[in-house]
Amino acid sequence: MSTPGAVDRIGRQMEEKEAMDRNNEKHIFVSQLTAGQQLEEVFLVARKTLAETKAGKPYLALGLMDKTGEIEARVWDNALQFDPLVEEGAFIRVQAVARPFREQLQLGVSGLQPVAENRINPGDFMPASRRSSTEMARELAAVINGIGDGAIKALLQEIFQGDILERFQRAPAAKRLHHAYLGGLMEHTLSVAAMAEQCVRHYPLLDRDLLLAGALLHDLAKIDEYEYTRPPFNYTDRGRLVGHIVLGVELVRRAAEKVSAVSSDQVDQLVHIILSHHGQLAYGSPVLPMTPEAILLHHLDDMDAKMSTMDELRRKMSGSGCQWTEYQRHLERYLYLRGNEDGENTGPGEEIGAGTGRGSGRSPVREAVPTELPVRQRTLF
């Protein structure tokens, strides 16, 4: 039988737990932040770098995220004291002020504390596509059902089922640069397929079924390239060792062995589209695109990635009219974009800032100064 003292002690412990749980509830999301806003809130640490100012003073450069996006944060004071408390992939409660910096918000952090993972709601920190997964699944089925070539349709039906289909519906299309959220891979794939359908009407030399199949398959193996059970997304061992291009070729060839109707030439042409879709040897493709379908698919893929990146940047801007972004290292340029004048939700895509590079944060490094020298433009794969 419990004594009155024990009952009181248990009651106090329950009250303390409930108070702690209330404190760790998300009240303010990245998409809701405004300039000058003071906040005490929980975020997931997407990136962390211990860096130095030009004067040699250490500071922490952080990327903090929740399901609506990411924001750059800086700890200018007591960086060495706070550094051991912050790890990539961990949750922290920060006391901060949101300030504008180069047309985008940045958090100036004055204090932070680690938060146990079992004290938060994981759903508050998983960025996801703005599109309905059910709607996208119906669209995917319609594209496959609309394939005229029976052999290619059978191959796609063999591939897009069961575990592969389930993971395809959930996977991101990238770690950071474009469609970097749950459902992003399917959203990007369907966007490329939709543009491919339009191009077929304009260029009669294209093989419609081959092009659409290539659009659906070109990035499919990212389901194995990335680990996306929780943010921040990262590479799997297979993804880093082999990569989605080779994994995609293996996936298609395995499936083709089960579809007797598909010819070896059709398989080779689909494989060529997958192998060459990065467009250049320097960007990871082992062969250059050499068919009309492969050349077009490369450009559609790159265009959709860039448009998605710019849209996410625009959604982070406040006010109307065109504004300059921070320097975009992956594109080697600034961008001049129309601001988020309609007050649209910033959505899930990750903010592309000009902050420091990633690292374990154990040794200080100086931030690189962006260069504006003309160099060959990069792709976003």
- 103 and 186 share a domain? no
What is the full DSSP assignment across 40-84? Answer: EEEEEEEEEEEEE-TTS-EEEEEEEEETTEEEEEEE-SSHHHHGG
CATH of the domain at 192: 1.10.3210
Do 137 and 285 share a domain, yes or no?
Answer: yes
Block residue for tokens 């029976």? 150
Same-domain pairing of 138 and 235: yes
- The answer to whether position 355 is within a domain reads no
Is 94 within the bounds of a domain? yes
Q: Last residue of a domain, which of 60, 93, 125?
A: 125
Q: Is 230 a domain residue? A: yes
Same domain membership, residue 170 and residue 287: yes
> Within 10 Å of residue 323's Cβ, how many Cβ atoms?
19
Going from the C-alpha of 41 to that of each of 23, 109, 110, 254, 346, the distances in angstroms are 9, 11, 12, 48, 18
- How many whole angstroms separate alpha carbon 106 and alpha carbon 301? 31
Domain stops at, among 308, 341, 374: 308
**289 and 164 co-located in one domain:** yes
Are 112 and 142 in a shared domain?
no
Q: Kindly give the confidence (pLDDT) of every residue in the chain, 381 residues in length, as a single tens digit, with 9 standing for 90 and above.
A: 555 565 565 555 545 544 444 556 889 999 889 999 999 999 999 999 999 999 999 999 999 999 888 899 999 999 999 999 999 989 999 999 999 987 788 999 999 999 998 888 888 988 889 899 999 999 999 999 999 999 999 999 999 999 999 999 999 999 877 898 899 999 999 999 999 999 999 999 999 999 999 999 999 999 999 999 877 788 999 999 999 999 999 999 999 999 999 999 999 999 999 999 999 999 989 999 999 999 999 999 999 999 998 888 888 777 778 888 888 888 889 999 987 765 555 444 433 233 333 233 333 332 333 333 333 344 555
Domain of 216 in residue numbering reads as: 133-308
CATH for 82: 2.40.50.140
Same domain, 158 and 88: no
Bridge partners (DSSP) of residue 105 are: 100
Q: From the DSSP assignment, how many helices (H) and strands (E) are in the chain?
A: 12, 10
Structure tokens at 283: 């960007």
Same domain, 265 and 233: yes
Number of domains in the chain: 2
**Same structural domain, 111 and 137:** no
| pLDDT computed for residue 9 by the predictor | 57
DSSP, residue by residue, 214-239: HHHHTTTTHHHHEE-SSSSPEE-HHH
Which of 291, 308, 325 is the last residue before a domain boundary? Answer: 308
Res 3: pLDDT: 59
Contacts 24+ apart (CB under 8 A), 267-276: 269/210, 269/293, 270/152, 270/155, 270/210, 270/213, 270/214, 270/217, 273/210, 273/214, 273/217, 273/218, 273/297, 274/214, 274/217, 274/218, 274/245, 274/248, 274/249, 275/245, 275/249
Is the omega angle on the peptide bond into residue 232 within 30 degrees of 0, that is, cis?
yes
